[in-house]
Amino acid sequence: MSYLFTSESVSEGHPDKVADQISDALIDNFLAWDADSKVACETLVTTGQVVLAGEVKSSTYLDVQKIAREVIRKIGYTKSEYMFEANSCGILSAIHEQSADINQGVDRKEKQEQGAGDQGMMFGYATVETSNYMPLALDLAHKILIELAALRRENKDITYLRPDAKSQVTIEYSDDHLPVRIDAIVVSTQHDDFGAEDVMQKKIQDDIINILIPRVKSQLKPELQGLFTGDIKYHINPTGKFVIGGPHGDTGLTGRKIIVDTYGGKGAHGGGAFSGKDPSKVDRSAAYATRHIAKNLVAAGVCDEILVQVSYAIGVKYPMGIYVNTYGSSKTGLSDGEIAQKVSEIFDMTPYGIETRLKLRNPIYAETAAYGHMGREPQTVTKSFEGAGGEKKTVEVELFTWEKLDYTDKVKAAFNIA
């Protein structure tokens, strides 16, 4: 019997994502001036207020207020009627020095001996369902909101959009786990107050269905465009008007959108958030590493779908273990346990090995903090930073290195895949 599966996404203007983006902007600025910085930074945003808290060990000093305001401005909170605005919001910093007890378990005289920054388990997932090896429902939910943000910034075809938004996509699958059609699409978008509630809702619904969805559909391959049938159930701003939104409508916190950040409910999640953490925190770095493993194994033809788990003890160099589940899709004749053994031989999963392989001690994190950390396009960009004293720095960095298919040849050789 066919079944339904749903994933959601949230926009860069969603309060939790505002918090994530501020935390990751701080990470980038610390790493830009001191690549050895150890940072765990949490952000809270609410009506007219930003609170920064966390632990830092770094040789640099930052103007955290300026950095936070730049992030808020870039997102689009630039009008006083939003009740949360870049220039006027209050910013309170309660950032202090990292615990020496924790630091002694991570830093070593030899960097190669670095221990894990915390205990826990991390998961990576990949599937042949899409060209970027991501679950289809989440990929579509992200695309809807990326395009909605583009329409907001263009301010031409749709002129009333505000930064806060959410999407949700429900897909019907056949018994053999193939997508058959899109069953439902939910879009809730913050908007200006431009008339009677029923008039606004009708206008927004028409624009989402007739302007936004066709733009999303046009980006897809023909086989995926065919999933958009006339039977889709649309729920557009289903509560009615959505004028009050963003941090004024709902308090935002770093790390509350971990499923949006990863696989939309497919596979598994170890529970650790990413944003605001430097790469010594394996919650972040090992989640990227397991995604890198999963994607390269699927791309190499080892299996059609895979979940990879790794676990650590705080201060310990080597992982507790590596687990693999191919959901019966393995093409190698090997058991999942045998695949896991080969994975441990191909990939160095020590914290230092991960940081080095994926170039994680670079300021590459601001771009991860909205629209998912996984499934993104690897690229090289130039980023500019300004220090607290006005000094300027430009660095060239590789973004989303964990999405590179740079280990497929090694994987094929290890598994004797032609």
- On whether 295 is known to bind a ligand per the annotation, the reply is no
Residue 403 has pLDDT above 90, yes or no: yes
User: DSSP H helical segments within 50-113, as ranges?
Assistant: 64-75, 100-106
- On whether 257 is known to bind a ligand per the annotation, the reply is yes
DSSP string, 216-250: HHTTS-HHHHTT--TTPEEEESTTS---S-HHHHS
- On whether 96 is known to bind a ligand per the annotation, the reply is no
Q: Can you give the residue ranges of every domain in the chain?
A: 3-9+135-245, 120-128+279-414
CA distances from 58 to 34, 69, 97, 99, 278 (A): 7, 22, 9, 13, 11
- On whether 164 is known to bind a ligand per the annotation, the reply is yes
Buried b (16+ CB within 10 A) or exposed e, 286-307: bbbbbbbbbbbbbbbbbbbbbb
Q: What is the pTM of this model?
A: 0.96
pLDDT in tens, 4-50: 999 999 999 999 999 999 999 999 999 999 999 999 999 999 999 99
Tell me what the mean pLDDT of segment 216-227 comes to: 96
pLDDT in tens, 46-90: 999 999 999 999 999 999 999 999 999 999 999 999 999 999 999
- On whether 266 is known to bind a ligand per the annotation, the reply is no
- On whether 55 is known to bind a ligand per the annotation, the reply is yes
Are both 3-9+135-245 and 120-128+279-414 of the same fold? yes
Residue 116 in tokens: 């894990």
- On whether 291 is known to bind a ligand per the annotation, the reply is no
Confidence of residue 117 (pLDDT cuts 50, 70, 90): confident
pLDDT in tens, 323-363: 999 999 999 999 999 999 999 999 999 999 999 999 999 99
- On whether 392 is known to bind a ligand per the annotation, the reply is no
- On whether 241 is known to bind a ligand per the annotation, the reply is yes
- On whether 331 is known to bind a ligand per the annotation, the reply is no
- On whether 242 is known to bind a ligand per the annotation, the reply is yes
Residue 106 has pLDDT above 80, yes or no: no
pLDDT of residue 97: 85
- On whether 98 is known to bind a ligand per the annotation, the reply is yes
- On whether 142 is known to bind a ligand per the annotation, the reply is no
- On whether 273 is known to bind a ligand per the annotation, the reply is yes
Architecture of domain 120-128+279-414: 2-Layer Sandwich (3.30)
- On whether 277 is known to bind a ligand per the annotation, the reply is yes
- On whether 256 is known to bind a ligand per the annotation, the reply is yes
Residue 109 and residue 134 in contact, taking contact as beta carbons nearer than 8 Å? no
Quickly name the fold that domain 3-9+135-245 has: GMP Synthetase; Chain A, domain 3 (3.30.300)
CA distance 20 to 283: 15
What percent of the chain has a predicted confidence (pLDDT) above 70?
Answer: 97
